[in-house]
Amino acid sequence: MNRMAFKMHLNQGQKEEYIKRHNEIWPELKNLLKDSGVSEYSIFLDEETNTLFAFQKVEDDGGSQDLGKTEIVKKWWDFMADVMKVNPDNSPVSVELEEVFYLK
């Protein structure tokens, strides 16, 4: 089991909408994540900077960041593009983070 983390940026004033959309995550997207080996997925918000911090446990070296070629993920990106910083293809601008400490 591998752990991975990355950060993204939420647009100002979009906290409630971001939470609402994730509380109503599409079942087919949730199933895709689980079927792809993502066993845990948490997203935290630093409200001072609007930085989103995401953490995942994955079965191999993959994770949600590797699912961008699927239609459901592309549809989700389009759906979320108005509430967060995105790339030209509407994928979230994300920066992978290096793990520097882990206590088990």
Catalytic entry in 3, 19, 20, 22: 22
Cα Dmax for the chain: 39
- Whose structure tokens read 């989700």? 76
Domain ranges in the chain are 2-97
- At 25-75, the pLDDT tens digits run 999 999 999 998 998 999 999 999 999 999 999 887 665 666 888 999 999
Active site residue 9: no
- CATH value of 2-97 in 1.10.260.30, 3.30.70.100, 3.30.365.10, 3.40.50.720: 3.30.70.100
Q: How far apart are the first and last CA of the chain?
A: 13
Pairing of strands 38-46, 95-97: unpaired
Residue 60's pLDDT is 74
